[in-house]
């Protein structure tokens, strides 16, 4: 059995800041890389379903990034992986969903800009998700609504903190002001944040309040390197 299985999108990214340009792998590759940076002993399974391309502009002074993507240029059949945790990358844009009810273990997912997460198809998929990650830039409906249709917790995260809800309990974590980063490359920050949370979830030490705090602090450390 694997520790963590990654399903969904893998992108070939062209990244520019106006002066330099480079090509790299993104989305699934970001999560994979961050997990192994945190703990190189984690056993990770990969099932890229949708392979696409992205053009990304990074505005370092504003700590923002802008992108134009085609997420599904090539599709691959799902490779089912026996795993403790199954992470669905860009759930709202995945072209294949039928395998999700058959996954064992914990199911986590994240969201990207694009199709509304609140439409009928995605709403039904959220019934299987134990932990949903969504950034403040990508949410298109009320957090309370997402919490009501998600099986477990919804984690609405930003550079300054997170609002976390399961429909019955809600709490807020604020990153200390002195730790907020400026003039940094924020590309992949959401993927890194999810990876840090998955690491703590895998260990199952502490509770979700501690996992959220760790995820913000560790993400800040990784991005700041």
- The 10s digit of each residue's pLDDT in 89-99 is 999 999 999 99
Assess whether pLDDT exceeds 90 at residue 13.
Answer: no
Beta-sheet strands, E only, within 35-105: 44-59, 64-75, 83-89
> According to the model, what pLDDT value does residue 72 have?
85
Assess whether pLDDT exceeds 80 at residue 66.
Answer: no
Q: Mean pLDDT across the stretch 5-25?
A: 88
Q: Which residue has the tokens 């995820």?
A: 215
User: Confidence band (pLDDT; 50, 70, 90) for 6?
Assistant: very high
Assess whether pLDDT exceeds 90 at residue 222.
Answer: no
| Beta carbons of 93 and 72 less than 8 angstroms apart | yes
Quickly count: other Cβ atoms within 10 Å of residue 13's Cβ: 21
User: Confidence band (pLDDT; 50, 70, 90) for 185?
Assistant: very low
- In the chain, % of residues over pLDDT 90: 55
Q: How far apart are CA 73 and CA 9, in angstroms?
A: 10
Domains located in the chain, CATH noted: 2-8+25-48+78-224 (3.40.1190.20)
Mean pLDDT estimate for the chain = 87
> According to the model, what pLDDT value does residue 26 have?
85
Higher pLDDT, 112 or 151: 151
Q: What is the pTM of this model?
A: 0.88
Q: What is the DSSP letter of 21?
A: E
Residues recorded for the chain: 225
Assess whether pLDDT exceeds 70 at residue 167.
Answer: yes
Q: Mean pLDDT across the stretch 126-136?
A: 93
Higher pLDDT, 33 or 185: 33
Assess whether pLDDT exceeds 80 at residue 177.
Answer: no
User: Confidence band (pLDDT; 50, 70, 90) for 120?
Assistant: low
């Amino acid at each position: 059995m694997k520790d963590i299985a990654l399903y969904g999108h893998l992108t070939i990214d062209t990244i520019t800041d106006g002066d330099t340009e480079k090509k790299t792998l993104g989305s699934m590759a970001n999560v994979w890389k961050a997990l192994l940076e945190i703990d190189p002993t984690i056993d990770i399974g990969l099932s890229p379903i949708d392979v696409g391309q992205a053009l990304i502009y990074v505005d370092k002074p504003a700590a923002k990034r802008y992108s134009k993507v085609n997420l599904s240029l090539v599709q691959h059949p799902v490779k089912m992986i026996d795993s403790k945790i199954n992470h669905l990358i860009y759930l709202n844009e995945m072209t294949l969903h039928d395998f999700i009810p058959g996954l064992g273990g914990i199911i986590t997912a994240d969201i990207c800009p694009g199709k509304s997460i609140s439409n009928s198809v995605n709403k039904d998929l959220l019934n299987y998700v134990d932990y949903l990650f969504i950034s403040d830039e990508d949410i298109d409906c009320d957090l309370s609504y997402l919490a009501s249709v998600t099986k477990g917790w919804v984690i609405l995260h930003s550079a300054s903190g997170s609002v976390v809800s399961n429909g019955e309990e809600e709490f807020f974590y604020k990153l200390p002001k002195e730790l907020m980063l400026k003039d940094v490359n924020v590309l992949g920050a959401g993927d890194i944040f999810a990876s840090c949370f998955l690491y703590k979830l895998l260990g199952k030490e502490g509770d979700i309040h501690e996992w959220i705090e760790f995820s913000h602090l560790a993400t800040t450390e990784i991005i700041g390197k």
